[in-house]
Structure 1
C-alpha cells in the first residue's frame, strides 16, 4: 500500500548506499569467491526491486529468493545475465515456469531432481540447477540416505547442468559452535561425489568463519541489511534501516494511572505520555511491550504499556514540549537503537524485526 508523504503514521528510511557498502565489505572478505545476495521475502522486507537494482550496480549477478512467485516478480527488473535462484525449488507441476521466466531451481529432493531431469529429457536440452544437500540442519536438501540412493542411479542427473552444490549452516553466527566444522566436513564429503562442480555454503555469518567456508559463491542476506553477523562481536556493517513514528498526541497522567490495554504499566509519579502511530499491525512486535525504547531529541524514553495494533505509548516525562507536537517524529530504529538492540529487547533476532516491518509506512530510499 503506497503511502503519501506526511500522511503515514511512520517513516521507514532504507539506505541503499549502506547496502552497497555492506556488499563491498562482504565481497572483500570473500576474495575470489563471488558474493550473491538473498533478496527473498522482499529483500527481508526492505524492497527486493530497489535493493536488487542497487546491488546490480556493485556487479552482483546472483540473487536468491524462496518462492517461484518471488522470482517471477523480480525477473523483469533484472538483466538476463543476472541469475535468480529459487531456494525452495519448483512446486510440483510448475517446472516449465522456470524456463518461461528464466529462473533456476535449487533442487531439494529426489522428487524435484527427477521432475527437472524429466523436463530436460523432454526438451532435449540441459537445464541449469543447484543441488542442495542436507549436512545437518534437517530442513531442506537431499538427506545423506536420499543422496546415496540417487547417486546409485547412473542417470539421476541426466540433462541437468549442475551449477553449484549447496548446503546451509545451522549455527554460523556462533563461531565456536561445533556444528560448523561438522557440517563443513560433511559438505566436503558430499562434494567428493561431484568432482569439478562449484560449491556454495556460506550465508551471511559463514562469510566471517573464514575461507574454508567460502567456496565459489556466498549467499548473504541479513548482513547486507545491517544485521550483526557474529554473536557477541561488534557489527562491522553499516546500518540500513531507520524507522521513525509520528506522535499523535500527548497527555498528562497522575501517579498510579494505568496505560494501555490491561493497564500493564502504571506511573510511579505524575507523567507525560506520548501516543505514537506504530503498532503490531506495522510489525512493531507486541513482545516490545514495556521493554522497548525510543529516542526523541537526544532523550532515550521507555515504551510503556502494551503495544496495540496501531499505536505505542512512550513515557516522555522531562522531554521539552517543543519536541512533542502532533506529527513530530520519534526514532524507533536508528544508528544508536539498532535493529539488533530492538531485537534483543523483543526477545528475538534482527531478521524478524526487519522482515516484520509492515506496509503502512511511508518508505523512502536514499542512495
Structure 2
C-alpha cells in the first residue's frame, strides 16, 4: 500500500497513530498559557487608577509575547480604543484583527514609501523627525498623527529646536496627539522625572488642540501630574513592571511550562552542561527540560534561573542550551517523571523574580518567547 507523510498506516502493517497528531503532540513542547481575562482585569485596574485620562494599550512585539491579535481583541472588548505598535507591519496585522474602530499609532514613524500602506490600513504615525511630519500630512485628513518630542531620553523624537519648522508644517492641520517618554519613571525619586515633566508641559502648551501623553506603565505610578490626556501602559497590562501603588492590583497573565524529558542522578564532583560551569558538591537528582534559548529562555539564566514543580523551586544547573535546560529536583519529595511539566513563569515562578535571576527585566523575558513555544489563550 502506498504511504504518505500523513498516513496513519505504515508499511509494517500496524495501525499507528496519525503522524501529524504525534508530531504536534502538545506534551512534547514548551507551552505559554495566556489568560486574556487577566489582561482585561489588569487593564481595568490601571484605568481605575487613571481617572482623568484615557488608558490605551501598547501591544508591540506581539503584545510582549502574549499574542497581539488575541490581546488586542480582548482589550477592545474591555473598552480600549487606542493602541500602539512599533512597526507598520504590526499595525497592519492589528488592523485586520480589530477592524476599523480603534485608533492604532505606529511608534517608529512613517517614511515616504509607506504612505500608501499607512492609508490602506488607516494607521496613525508617530512622527519622530520633521520628515515624518511631511509624510504624515500626505495621509487622508481622517487619519490622525502624533508628534513625539524627546524631553531627555536622547533616543528618538523631535527636539524643541525643531519647533519653528514643525509650526510651518502643521499650521493647517495640528497633530491629534503630542507625546514624550520618561527615561527614569521606574525610579520615582529621580530628578529626571520632574525635569521631563516640566519640559513636556512647555511643549504641550504650544499644541492646545492636541491631546497629550507622557506616561507608560511606570509613569502612571508617578501620579496624576504625569497622566495628562492619555497613558500608554505596556508591561503593566501583562502583570509585570516596577513596584506599583497599593491601589493597583496586577496579575501576570502568562504561564510558561515545559516538559521533563529525563530524570537522572548525578554523583558528587560531576559537572552539568556546556563548559562545566556547575559542579556538584553532593549527589543530586537532575531533570532535563525541553526549553532552551532558541525558545526565548534567556541564556543568562544559566546557574541563576529556576523552575517550580509542585510549589518547590528547582534551580537551573549549568548553562542554558539551545533546546534544553537542566534543573535540580533533589528537594522534591518524590522524583518527577518524564512528561511532568515544570513552570518557568507564572503564579509560582514570578515574572520579575525570574527576570532578576537572569539579570534582565520582565519585558525581555516575555517578548523573547519563540515560535516553538505553543501559545494557548483562555480565560
Is the 1:8–1:360 Cα contact (8 Å) retained in structure 2?
A: no
Question: Any conservation in 1 of the 2:180–2:200 contact (CA below 8 Å)?
Answer: yes
Q: Give the corresponding residue for 1:348.
A: 360
Quote the Cα distance in structure 2 between the aligned partners of 1:292 and 1:53: 33
Name which of 330, 338, 345 aligns with 1:333. 345
Q: Which residue of 2 aligns with 1:39?
A: 59
Whether 2:191 is the aligned partner of 1:178: answer yes
The one-character-per-residue Cα deviations of 1:318-366 (angstroms, maximum 9, x if unpaired) are: 4244x51111001111213211001110111111111111111222112
Are 2:326 and 1:310 aligned? no
CA distance, structure 2, for counterparts of residue 137 and residue 176 of structure 1: 17
> Given the superposition, is the C-alpha separation of residues 352 and 233 from structure 1 closer, same or farther in structure 2, using an over 3 Å criterion?
farther
Aligned twin of 1:18: 38
1:269 aligns with 2:260: no
Using the TM superposition, give the Cα deviation of residue 7 of structure 1 relative to its aligned residue in structure 2, in angstroms.
Answer: 4.2
Q: Kindly tell me: are residues 280 and 339 of structure 1, through their superposed partners in 2, closer, same or farther at Cα, counting changes over 3 Å?
A: same
> Using a 3 Å threshold, how does the CA distance of structure 1 residues 97 and 29 change in structure 2: closer, same or farther?
same
Query: What does residue 375 of structure 2 align with?
Result: 363
Following superposition, the deviation at residue 198 of structure 1 comes to 1.2
* Count of matched residue positions in the alignment of Structure 1 and Structure 2: 358
Aligned to 1:59: 79
Tell me if 1:142 matches 2:162: no
How far, CA to CA, are the matches of 2:281 and 2:26 in structure 1?
A: 35
Report the Cα distance in structure 1 between the residues aligned to 2:61 and 2:50, rounded to whole angstroms: 25
Between the aligned partners of 1:234 and 1:263, the Cα distance in structure 2 is 47
Instruction: Name the SS for the 1:209 alignment partner.
Output: coil
Post-superposition offset of 1:196: 2.8
- Alpha-carbon distance in 1 for matches of 2:96, 2:153: 33
Distance in 2 separating the partners of 1:92 and 1:10: 42
> Could you list the runs of 5+ residues in structure 2 that have no partner in the other structure?
1-20
Deviates more, 1:40-49 or 1:294-303: 294-303
Contact 1:245-1:277 at 8 Å conserved across structures: yes
Deviation string 1:152-172 (CA, Å, 9 cap, x unpaired) is x3xx11553521111111111
Instruction: Show the counterpart of 1:109.
Output: 129
What is the DSSP-based 3-state SS (H/G/I as helix, E as strand, rest coil) of the residue aligned with 1:49?
Answer: helix
Deviations 1:225-275 (A, max 9, x none): 011333899983112111111000011121101110011111111211110
What is the CA–CA distance in structure 2 between the aligned matches of 1:39 and 1:214, rounded to whole Å? 19
Q: Aligned equivalents of 1:31 and 1:126: distance in 2?
A: 28
How far residue 187 of structure 1 moved from its aligned partner, in angstroms, is: 0.4
Superposed, which structure 2 residues align to 1:1-367 within 5 Å? 4-117=24-137, 119=138, 125=141, 127-151=143-167, 153=168, 156-230=169-243, 236-321=249-334, 324-367=336-379
CA distance, structure 2, for counterparts of residue 280 and residue 272 of structure 1: 23
Higher mean displacement: 302-311 or 330-339:
330-339
How many Å apart are 1:75 and its aligned residue?
0.7
Give the TM-score taking structure 1 as reference length: 0.93
SS of equivalent residue, structure 1 residue 291: coil
Q: In 1, distance between residues paired with 2:327 and 2:295? A: 17
CA–CA distance in structure 2, aligned partners of residues 158 and 115 of structure 1? 15
- Is residue 27–residue 259 contact of structure 2 (8 Å, CA) maintained in 1? no
